[in-house]
A and B are shown apart, each in its own frame.
Chain A
Amino acid sequence: MNPRLRSFALAMLPPLATFILFVVLWDASVVYFEVEPFQVPRPMAVVRAAMERKEQIGSGLFLTGSAAAMGFATSLVVGVLVAFLFSQSRVIQRSLYPYAIFFQTVPIIAVAPLIINWFGHDTRSIVIVSAIVSLFPIITNTTTGLTELDRNAVELFELNGATRIQKLFKLQLPNSVPYLIAGARTSSGLSVIGAIIGEFFAGFGQEKYGLGFLIFQTSSQLKIDAMFACIVASTLLGLLIFGAVSLVGSAVLLRWRSN
């Protein structure tokens, strides 16, 4: 076997085994404890429900996925800009940082209706909710990357008469890349949660239902097997975005990670 394929297979083995064990335990518990199907369905029922609704879940995945991706991209751009602002002066950072924490602690459920009030009932509001939820890790990580520099490297730049712009482009920005990637990984999962919450309040418009609505609907109609299928789909979506970000991240980092 191709060695890269082999190492990939080896890396996939433990989580796969955990998954299989989890499913087996799940099924056995439902049978053993005689859990009602409207409380916890059996795994096969979830698979069946997913097959029955595969078009619905597929388009839900696409809608929620694109909203989450846009929200994530927005938080990436805004987060880096804010971090850049923070890195420019201690005073700015000290005065604004407490307000950045707002994005971490804001009860998004309370703010979402406001956002819809301001931006209307459409994808834009969903993207904004998703971006707000995923913004904070980008800001903090990137700020750290821009400001916590190797002291000797700073002296090297100073000694060679580097300008502010040179220091920014040749030292601070590249230095922040690994931090940004770590923040982006955390944010990627949050962006999916944000998109689902956002849809809860804003909706995508007629005939367009994302995973948030599907979860809400199947739960309200007591179609618990289908609800589990939607939850699994949103988890997969989170994994997908996380995986994509990690993949891009490690491709970039491959070059400069020491050890």
Chain B
Amino acid sequence: MSDENYLQMDGVSLRFPTGVVALDGVDLTVPRGEFLGIVGPSGCGKSTLLRVVAGLIAPTAGRVAVAGAEVGAARRARRAVAFVFQSATLLPWRTVVRNVQLPLELRGRLAPEQRAHIDETIDLVGLSYFRNSYPHQLSGGMQMRVSLARALVTRPELLLLDEPFGALDDITRQRLNEELLALWERDRFTALFVTHNVAEAAFLTGRTVVMSPRPGRIVSEHVIPFAHPRGPELRASAEFAHLSGEIAASLRRVVA
């Protein structure tokens, strides 16, 4: 294994017991530290792909390796992967800080020295003031920030994001995009970001693949060459519009 094929998927297929083929021969190589976008129409198996990478679902054919280890083993190592779901999925009976620390609790006894790290992570998503609030006291965007903090608190090597900002309004979504990107620019973890929003993919990622509807397979690949750090002004540039248009066109082709 090298950093070039940190995530390696070869001929990954998934057929559900119902007979539905969700993934059909997906080959994908992601180097360490890449921010990869996956776009596709709804129901194309993007979410399923993330769950296969996370080891939550076993593929019926093919091979998935993270950092050179088969995914099952990687999961047992329990450090590498964090998942951000479509909904914030916060436990309503826990405060912000207790939601964020949950993965650490589940992985072992919470050590006192982890306190500072937890607080720092909450600070990172800008919620220090709300650390003792309950989820229902927060807006949708704030809840998503908590969800992000909960993923980052484990210092993941691989962050899987499943349309995390899909339910938010545009302004909030863009702000969160910028914040997420800033976090990535700081830590350079490997990220797989599923979305059906082309502009979001173009803004965040270094490379974006387009998936076809079921059975899901990768049909095109787009390199996003913009330099980092990227700011909100990028969205106004002609190149950005051009690239977004290309991805959108590719997406339209698979839907048609």
Binding site for B on A (CB under 8 A): 150, 152-153, 155-162, 166, 170-171, 174, 177, 255-259
Contacts and interface: CB of A to CB of B under 8 A. Distances in A.
B54 A159 contact: yes
B107 interface: yes
Contacts of A174: 91, 93
Contacts of B107: 160-161
Given A152-B87, A153-B89, A153-B91, A158 B56 contact: yes
B92 A256 contact: yes
A258 B92 CA distance: 7
> Main secondary structure on chain A at its contact with chain B?
helix
12 contacts: A150-B89, A152-B86, A155-B56, A155-B85, A156-B89, A159-B81, A159-B83, A166-B105, A170-B102, A170-B106, A174-B93, A257-B136
Contacts of B106: 157, 160-162, 166, 170
Given A155-B83, A155-B85, A256 B136 contact: yes
B78 interface: yes
Contact of A256 (B85, B134, B154): B134
Interface in B70-91: 75-76, 78, 81-83, 85-87, 89, 91
Interface residues of B, number: 26
B213 interface: no
B170 to A, nearest CB: 24
Interface of B: 51, 54-56, 75-76, 78, 81-83, 85-87, 89, 91-93, 102-103, 105-107, 134-136, 154
A234 to B, nearest CB: 36
Contacts of A177: 93
Contacts of B51: 155
Nearest to B77: A161
A257 B81 contact: no
A160 B103 contact: yes
Considering residues A155, A166, A171, A174, which has the most beta carbons from chain B within 10 angstroms of its beta carbon?
Answer: A155
Contacts of A256: 92-93, 134-136
Contacts of A161: 75-76, 78, 106-107
Nearest to B90: A153
A253 to B, nearest CB: 9
Considering residues B51, B55, B85, which has the most beta carbons from chain A within 10 angstroms of its beta carbon?
Answer: B85
A99 to B, nearest CB: 31
A159 B75 contact: yes
A74 B56 CA distance: 40
Given A162-B106, A259-B136, A171 B93 contact: no
Contacts of B154: 160
A159 B102 CA distance: 12
B233 to A, nearest CB: 35
A255 B154 CA distance: 27
B85 A156 contact: yes
Nearest to B89: A152
Contact of B105 (A150, A155, A170, A255): A170
